[in-house]
A = this chain, B = another copy of it.
Amino acid sequence: MTSTIKKIGVLTSGGDAPGMNAAIRAVVRACAYYNVECIGIYRGYQGMIEGDFKEMGPRTVKNIINKGGTILKSARSKDFMTTEGRLQAYNHLKESGVDALVVIGGDGTFTGAEIFNNEFQFPIIGIPGTIDNDIYGTSHTLGYDTALNTVVEAIDKIRDTANSHNRLFFVEVMGRDAGHIALNAGIGGGAEEILIPEENLGLDRLVESLRKSKDSGKTSSIVVVAEGDKIGKNVFELKDYVEENMPDYDVRVSVLGHMQRGGAPSCFDRVLASRLGVKAVEVLLEGKTNYMVGLLADKVVLTPLEQAIKGQSRVDAELVKVSDIISI
């Protein structure tokens, strides 16, 4: 390819997600493959403002495809919300000869990219990296598949105890705005009920459902609750409510927390990261900008960043139905 772009910068921003390192590796190696220089930018937009840059070559990124987190580190940057901050960032890029960016992150990261591009006409491609899978324009975000496996493995362990003691467990998983993790890991973990932000089951129906579940011969139960569940009570209040209304139940709570964000990425996330990283570089070299590279119908596709930010990634109604059927 011939292109005016000679040096590409890559950064990770927002919450870290497994697969970010695999994506960095793919970007760096695709640059080498297409004879373009590559600069790693530390701590997201904040490092861009501070000029925290490092040259990267194919060997710089060896043995990171299987590592969680991000070797470029991530941070949220208040300074990047100011015109001054962004100007400083732009100047650092220009000084270093960087003439295009690949940004790996979520909604916030893409919003920053949009603004930066508008101000400086700087070519930018986004890669969706967040375990929450709440980005429009891609069936899977980096880290989502890994997080699902982390959650079902934790539920498998909790079920050992639930079964041994005939208990009911509320397991809280990540997902403030989207129920993807709760719904899929709930099905995969064999949950009796799944509470997600997209649906308000209501307390009465929850208790009714648990009672029905017990009456049908189930001696233990797992209820998976997304952080952002709309039932209006946190997971400890849910426990109290159920214990009051079902005194025959021994109820426990487990909040899985931050370990959902880490760990060696699954094969799926490594392959996805490799595909998106390569494509991001190729697309920049073709002269495109302001797109997110994503996966739809198993193919790598482009979505305008603006749409990716505004659009909503909805849970599949079929899955909600499947969840109801198989928890009978």
Contacts and interface: CB of A to CB of B under 8 A. Distances in A.
A328 B259 contact: no
A188 B270 contact: yes
Contacts of A296: 297
B274 A322 contact: yes
A160 B326 contact: no
Contacts of A266: 148-149, 152, 266
A170 to B, nearest CB: 11
Interface string A260-275: 1111101110110011
A187 B157 contact: no
B29 A152 contact: no
A274 B259 CA distance: 24
A201 to B, nearest CB: 18
Interface string A12-52: 10011010000001100110110000000000000000000
A6 interface: no
A258 B63 contact: no
Nearest to A216: B58
A257 interface: yes
A239 interface: no
A74 B164 contact: yes
A152 B16 contact: no
B255 A160 contact: no
A154 B259 contact: yes
Contact of A258 (B18, B25, B158): B158
- Give the one of A163, A164, A264 with max B CB within 10 A: A164
A109 interface: no
